[in-house]
Amino acid sequence: MAEILFNPTQEDTLKELINVSFGVAASLIGDLLESHVKLHIPEISTIAIRDFDAKTCELLGDETEFYLTKQRFIGSFNGEVIFIFSPRCANAFCQLLLRDEEALSEMETKSSVLELTNIITSACISQLCELINGKTVFQVPSIERRDTTQLERYEKIIGYENVIVIKTALDVEDKNILGHMFILLNNRMLEHLQNIMEEL
């Protein structure tokens, strides 16, 4: 399933850049949660867009239900960021953000997840955009609850060929909140990114 999109040098540079942007995001999330937060990246891989659904199922394992957020960014650097979270992780983050141990409503969970993904997406994409001297505008994100057993029901993603898959782990207090970030790029954007990584 894995598709090699970056050579080892490019991959190292990409990891470093993402680490820096995740550091910025972690600091802000820590401020919002009033807690020490560690955001780390256990794994980065690349896949072709046709394997997106299969990768989603693989990452979720036995869990079938999940939250999926989508946010497009357009401009000279363009693409789309997708996040997936299991309901357990989404609820755990919502409880931390709202400082509420009770079971929270679906709207509260969705709203909290969007706040989290908005921060990570902004930090990460702004960093990559700055690197390629590009300009980008973020579109309004969306979130929905999906089921891996009914993936054929959802609209297929078009316009991209490549996906950078970043496993993200947010350590807050005694909680470990796992999510998966997918950066979707077309061939032209990928090539652009590869060239810049090579130059750095």
Residue 24 touches another protein, criterion: CB under 8 A: yes
Residue from 138, 157, 186, 192 that binds another protein (CB under 8 A)?
A: 138
> Which of 98, 123, 114 shows the shortest CA–CA distance to 33?
98
> Which of 162, 168, 171, 1 shows the shortest CA–CA distance to 83?
168
Which range of residues in 45-53, 111-119, 161-169, 191-199 is near another protein by CB under 8 A?
111-119
* 141-180 residues near another protein, rule: CB under 8 A: 141-143
The residues facing 80 across adjacent strands are: 72, 184
Q: Among residues 25 and 172, whose Cβ is nearest to another protein? A: 25
Exposure string for 26-51, b = 16+ CB within 10 A, e = fewer: bebbeeebeeebebeeeebbbbebee
Q: Among residues 106 and 191, whose Cβ is nearest to another protein? A: 106
Q: Among residues 122 and 162, whose Cβ is nearest to another protein? A: 122
Q: Among residues 34 and 62, whose Cβ is nearest to another protein? A: 34
Residue 74 touches another protein, criterion: CB under 8 A: no
> Which of 121, 123, 117 shows the shortest CA–CA distance to 73?
121
Asked if 82 contacts 68 with a C-beta cutoff of 8 angstroms, the reply is yes
Contact positions vs another protein (CB under 8 A): 24-25, 28, 31-32, 97-98, 107, 110-111, 114-115, 118-119, 122-123, 126, 138, 140-143
